[in-house]
Amino acid sequence: MKQSHLIAIILILILLISTTTLLVAHTQSSNEIIPKKNNTYFGIAYCGNTTEQAKILIDKTKTYTNLFILNAGQNCLCTNQTAVMEILDYATNANLNIIVNLGSHNYRTWQQRLQILTQVKDTYGDKFLGVYYDDEPAGMLMDWDWIREFEINGHLYGSFTAQIQNKLQNAKETNTYPDNYDLESQWLQRILESNPGHKNLKTQNITTLTSDYTLYWFDYLGGYDVMLAQLGWNNSITQHLSLIRGAATLQNRDWGTIITWKYTQPPYIDSADNIYEQLVASYDAGAKYITIFNWPYDSPNPYAILTEEHFEAMERFWTQVFTQRDPRAPQAQAVLILPHNYGAALRVNNEKIWGIWEPDDKTPLIHETMAKLLDEYGLYLDIVYEDNAYPIKDYSKIYYWNQTITQP
């Protein structure tokens, strides 16, 4: 009897200890913030010039970000290896992942920047996520005066100059639109693939990122691993998310967003509430990288253009969304297929195609169809281009640009 009584007491003690342990574990886990997606990154693109500015920003945001993008491109940091490593040490010691913006290629400082990059790769391992290289490669093309460019610097573009000029002349003489825009697509791809800086990075198997505001599909074709859609320019947020996610999905690439200027003068950036909504929309659409562009440093504010309200919105996003729940619409239900190589920016009806051609008879129909489907599906729509190399699959509804859309 005594032995059985002792065993019973021991069993009760074990049960009490186990219950207490579970309660403590539950209490601890309830107070901890555990990221729902370990492969999603949120942070700020730092564009200042000093280590002090960088450290102040890191200290301000390190508890509600996991990414720091350092601009070490065409500024005074681009050849200052000591300063770059000091900033990146500080960021990684704060448990932040890092991306280094190397700017664009120029022969004067490029080799020095590559030397810095070698040390970054060797030092930071998996915390180094890649290189942000160049900027707006397709967007710059869309908004350039290429007719005049061909007249002045046509020799720089090889045989494409003569071919496009002949195509323009033929269209003018026959008063017709081109049958296709394959030549223009090949031209952009050639420009991107032949970029010497980008080629250097690709030969070293470095993940390359950049941002743009249009034609993400063709940026990927030009060799970029990750594209960031620029949000903030008073354009449709949902449309940009549908375009970049569609391109990334079919071409099996990663994607993200960068919240940039809304205005070309102070305060430059949107309100804190609107930025919060853009952060949430990016996350819900399945973005892997979510960033905020923080420049210029031209005021007494030690944090450049970001205010306390912006930081509060960032922290709210981190604590209430990013670390608390999964994205709500990471995969589209429907897809809109645009014409093959139709290089229109899709901002307004009167924009040139590939920055060269006046809008054609497809333009208004594409805009009408796209608007209807975005209204119906919202974040559950992808927008892609017809391309046999990237077959359409895994969508419950497929729409074509010239299809009649009836809304309920």
pTM: 0.90
**Any idea what the Cα angle at residue 23 is, between residues 19 and 27, rounded to 5°?**
170
pLDDT band at residue 259, thresholds of 50, 70 and 90? very high
Give the model confidence (pLDDT) of 187-220 as tens digits: 999 889 999 999 999 999 999 999 999 999 999 9
**Any idea what the Cα angle at residue 50 is, between residues 46 and 54, rounded to 5°?**
40
Question: What letter does residue 94 receive in the DSSP assignment?
Answer: T
Q: What pLDDT, on a 0 to 100 scale, did the predictor assign at position 154?
A: 80
Q: What pLDDT, on a 0 to 100 scale, did the predictor assign at position 38?
A: 61
Judge whether 294 and 287 are in contact, CB under 8 Å: no
Task: List, in order of start, the domains of the chain with CATH numbers.
Answer: 41-134+194-322 (3.20.20.80), 334-400 (no CATH)
**Mean pLDDT value of segment 164-190:** 91
Q: What pLDDT, on a 0 to 100 scale, did the predictor assign at position 147?
A: 79
pLDDT over threshold 50, residue 232:
yes
**Mean pLDDT value of segment 221-231:** 97
Q: What pLDDT, on a 0 to 100 scale, did the predictor assign at position 305?
A: 98
**Mean pLDDT value of segment 341-353:** 92
pLDDT over threshold 90, residue 381:
yes
Give the model confidence (pLDDT) of 13-36 as tens digits: 344 344 444 433 333 333 344 445
Which structure tokens are listed for 65?
């970000």
Give the model confidence (pLDDT) of 389-401 as tens digits: 999 999 999 999 9
Question: What letter does residue 100 receive in the DSSP assignment?
Answer: E
Q: Please spell the DSSP secondary structure of 132-164, one letter per residue.
A: EESS-HHHHHHTS-HHHHHHHHGGGGTHHHHHH
pLDDT band at residue 130, thresholds of 50, 70 and 90? very high
Which structure tokens are listed for 367?
């805009």
Average per-residue pLDDT in the chain?
A: 89
Q: What pLDDT, on a 0 to 100 scale, did the predictor assign at position 16?
A: 39
**Mean pLDDT value of segment 328-345:** 97
**148-152, 213-217, 239-243, 269-273: lowest mean pLDDT where?**
148-152
pLDDT band at residue 11, thresholds of 50, 70 and 90? very low
Give the model confidence (pLDDT) of 71-105 as tens digits: 998 788 988 999 999 999 999 999 999 999 999 99
Judge whether 142 and 351 are in contact, CB under 8 Å: yes
Share of the chain above pLDDT 90, in %: 76
pLDDT band at residue 143, thresholds of 50, 70 and 90? confident
pLDDT over threshold 70, residue 53:
yes
